[in-house]
Amino acid sequence: MADSILIFDSGVGGLSVLSQVRQQFPAICLNYLMDTEMFPYGDRDDDVLIQRILNVCVRGCEHYNPALLIVACNTASTLALSQLRNALPIPVVGVVPAIRVAGERCTSDAQNTFGLLATPATVRRPYTDQLINDFANHCTVQRFGSKELVAIAERKMGGETITTELQQHLTPWLAEFPDMQKVVLGCTHYPLLRDELEACWPHIEWIDSGEAVARQAARIFPASTTGNQQINLCWTGTQCPRGVSQFLAQYGHLEQAGSLNK
């Protein structure tokens, strides 16, 4: 379907990007593809991941024939954007931690510290170092690489109550920097926890990339604004993660769901 967009992530995190994209594209087909067979990406070898991301995204594009690919995964974007752009005949938009936004909001010496909350791999990648050097070299960036937050977000999507677990996980780190007023959510899973984050730490501004990615997609692909929006759901494993269909059903447009491997 040429008048459509493919949104790719390893799991449910890209739903936070999809929720922003659908506002920019109210009359287009959105295809959401999860690599559940390889999830989680966090600690896997880079070379393995690059080949895997290329394979799944190429197959997804062959299946849906989209006009645009959005890589709604920080790990995949920091590793494989250039390879995907070389391999595919369509525009590819990636998502990276909103370090530039946070840097621009560090307006005084008293507020020049912000946190970067991401997976351990994203926190330590040279790409992240370069983003900080380019857009936030006037700031102090406190990094926290979490192995647990992705799983916590996935459990929330499955209907579990995760507030206590979230507090126990993040409180020791945040307590080290009591004056920190901004934290970049450097993984697309993390905005799915926004309600709990804002309730537990209301003094912190939680910054993510979803809205910026949606605006960039709209600049590249000025699609029609008339018609009905449709959402298709696809995954690579044997079953869809709990809660995803229910999450998409709130928009009232979920049309198809199935495994890419069938």
Could you give the number of structural domains in the chain?
2
Domain check: are 142 and 170 in the same one?
yes
Domain check: are 112 and 196 in the same one?
yes
Domain check: are 118 and 162 in the same one?
yes
Q: What is the pTM of this model?
A: 0.89
Amino acid letter at 184? V
Domain check: are 57 and 71 in the same one?
yes
What residue numbers bound the domain in which 52 lies? 4-95+211-259
pLDDT single digits (tens) 81-92: 999 999 999 999
Domain check: are 218 and 90 in the same one?
yes
Domain check: are 44 and 58 in the same one?
yes
Domain check: are 75 and 47 in the same one?
yes
Of 208, 233, 249, which one is at a domain's C-terminal end? 208
Which DSSP category does 140 fall into?
E
Domain check: are 158 and 219 in the same one?
no
Of 180, 208, 236, which one is at a domain's C-terminal end? 208
Amino acid letter at 247? F
Residue with tokens 């677990």: 165
Strands 68-71 and 4-9, bridge-based pairing: parallel
**CATH number of the domain where residue 64 is located:** 3.40.50.1860
**At a CB cut-off of 8 Å and minimum separation 6, what does 101 contact?**
184, 207, 209, 212
pLDDT per residue rounded down to tens, the chain (262 residues): 567 999 999 989 999 999 999 888 888 889 999 999 988 887 788 999 999 999 999 999 999 999 999 999 988 998 999 999 999 999 999 998 999 999 998 876 667 899 999 999 889 889 899 999 999 999 999 999 998 999 999 899 888 999 999 999 999 999 999 989 999 999 999 999 999 999 999 999 999 999 999 999 999 987 666 667 788 888 998 777 777 877 777 766 666 667 777 5
pLDDT single digits (tens) 65-84: 999 999 999 889 989 999 99
Inter-residue contact 90 to 156 (CB < 8 Å): no
Domain check: are 234 and 204 in the same one?
no
How far apart, in whole angstroms, are the C-alpha atoms of residue 213 and residue 21?
8
Inter-residue contact 13 to 209 (CB < 8 Å): no
Domain check: are 222 and 244 in the same one?
yes
Domain check: are 123 and 194 in the same one?
yes
Q: Where are the beta strands (DSSP E) in 109-204?
A: 113-118, 140-145, 182-185
Domain check: are 32 and 59 in the same one?
yes
Angle at 35 between CA 16 and CA 71, to 5 degrees: 50
* Positions marked active-site: 73, 187
Residue 87 φ/ψ, nearest 5 degrees: -85, -25
Of 165, 189, 208, which one is at a domain's C-terminal end? 208
How far apart, in whole angstroms, are the C-alpha atoms of residue 253 and residue 248?
8
pLDDT single digits (tens) 201-237: 999 999 999 999 999 999 998 766 666 778 888 899 8
